[in-house]
């Protein structure tokens, strides 16, 4: 099991957001995480990534319980197993695309793999933008660059938080297709948090969070 959540309790402002929440995702079994704003999609992602600690329960990523280890331990699990794509926060602003990918590799693995970077950029159709700074990229290019940044460390789980919400129809379709294709190519499991209905037909599995319901669908 790649991701396993058991009896998760998490409160925000002393009000329960998750109570006894359960979830399990196997390798190569992609999921959409849906729900209206405020339903806890982003919080759940942060809990899975180890950016938040639950009040109770276990969050196992590749067998490691994120809830039971120190912050630096969570940093390590995240570094080694998880790639994250955000809606707008995509790349380190001061570095060009290629340098961003090199930095991501160095931080994650301590080494760099230039051929992998080149092939990923080629695969995502942004090889010609390798030397562009983040602010020079279009929305679609930037989101593809963010996917490249997340994949370049060869994670087992790629979590994307609203990856297509800021994109137009054409770019949203392209990014979703690329996510699925790359996941297949690089053996990555996807967990996509979104309220973008355009993605629903592309993913067979869906975890629906309902506001104040606090339970997985």
Partner 1 sequence: MFRLALAYLRDRSLTTALNILLLGISVAMLVLLVQFGNQLSSRLDRDAQGVDLVVGAKGSPLQLILSSIFHIDQPTGNIPLESLNMLRRDPAVKAAIPLALGDNFDGYRIVGTDASYAAFYDGEIAQGKMFEKPMDAVLGAAVAKTTGAQLGQQFIGSHGLETEEGDGQGHDHAPFETVGILAPTGTVIDRLILTSVESVWDVHGIEHDHDEHEDHEKAGHDHDHDGGHDHDTDDETLSARGGLQPELTAILVSYRNAAGAIRIPAMINRQTEMQAATPAVETARLLALFGAGIEGARIFAWILAATGGLAIFIALLNMARAREGDLALLRVMGASKVQVFGTILLEGLITATAGAVLGIATAHAALFVATRSFQTLSDLGLSATLFLPAELGIFAAVLLIGIIAALIPAARIFRINLANTLARTS
Question: Which residues of this protein are in contact with partner 1, per CB under 8 A?
Answer: 42-43, 46, 49, 51-52, 72, 75, 78-79, 84, 86-89, 91-95, 99, 103-104, 107-108, 149, 153, 161
Nearest to 180 by CA among 31, 44, 42: 31
Instruction: Using the minimum distance from each CB to partner 1, give the nearer residue, 52 or 175.
Output: 52
Instruction: Using the minimum distance from each CB to partner 1, give the nearer residue, 15 or 201.
Output: 15
Q: Which two tokens stand for residue 209?
A: 């969070």
Instruction: Using the minimum distance from each CB to partner 1, give the nearer residue, 150 or 207.
Output: 150
Nearest to 44 by CA among 151, 194, 168: 194
Instruction: Using the minimum distance from each CB to partner 1, give the nearer residue, 49 or 167.
Output: 49
Strands 157-161 and 189-194 turn out to be parallel
Minimum distance from residue 189 beta carbon to partner 1 (Å): 18
Q: What is the chain's percent helix, strand, coil content, to nearest 5?
A: 40, 25, 35
Minimum distance from residue 204 beta carbon to partner 1 (Å): 27
Phi then psi dihedrals of residue 60, to 5 deg: -100, 125
Minimum distance from residue 159 beta carbon to partner 1 (Å): 10
Minimum distance from residue 82 beta carbon to partner 1 (Å): 9
Instruction: Using the minimum distance from each CB to partner 1, give the nearer residue, 153 or 174.
Output: 153
Minimum distance from residue 92 beta carbon to partner 1 (Å): 6
How far is the C-alpha of 170 from the C-alpha of 156, rounded, in Å? 28
DSSP state at residue 27: T
């Amino acid at each position: 099991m790649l991701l396993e959540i058991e009896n998760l309790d998490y409160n925000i402002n002393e009000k329960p957001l998750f109570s006894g929440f359960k979830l399990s995702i196997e390798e190569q079994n992609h999921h959409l995480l849906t729900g209206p704003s405020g339903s806890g999609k982003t919080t759940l992602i942060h809990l899975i990534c180890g950016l938040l600690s639950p009040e109770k329960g276990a969050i196992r990523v590749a067998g490691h319980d994120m809830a039971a280890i120190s912050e630096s331990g969570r940093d390590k699990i995240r570094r080694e197993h998880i790639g994250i794509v955000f809606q707008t926060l995509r790349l380190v602003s001061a570095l060009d695309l290629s340098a961003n990918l090199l930095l991501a590799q160095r931080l994650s693995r301590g080494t760099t793999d230039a051929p992998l970077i080149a092939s990923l950029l080629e695969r995502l159709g942004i090889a010609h933008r390798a030397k562009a700074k983040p602010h020079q990229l279009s929305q679609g290019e930037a989101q593809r660059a963010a996917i490249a940044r997340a994949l370049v460390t060869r994670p087992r789980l790629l979590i994307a938080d609203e990856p297509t919400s800021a994109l137009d129809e054409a770019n949203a379709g392209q990014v979703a297709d690329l996510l699925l294709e790359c996941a297949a190519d690089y053996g990555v499991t996807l967990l996509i948090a979104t309220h973008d209905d355009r993605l629903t037909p592309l993913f067979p599995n869906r975890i629906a969070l309902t506001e104040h319901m606090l339970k997985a669908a």
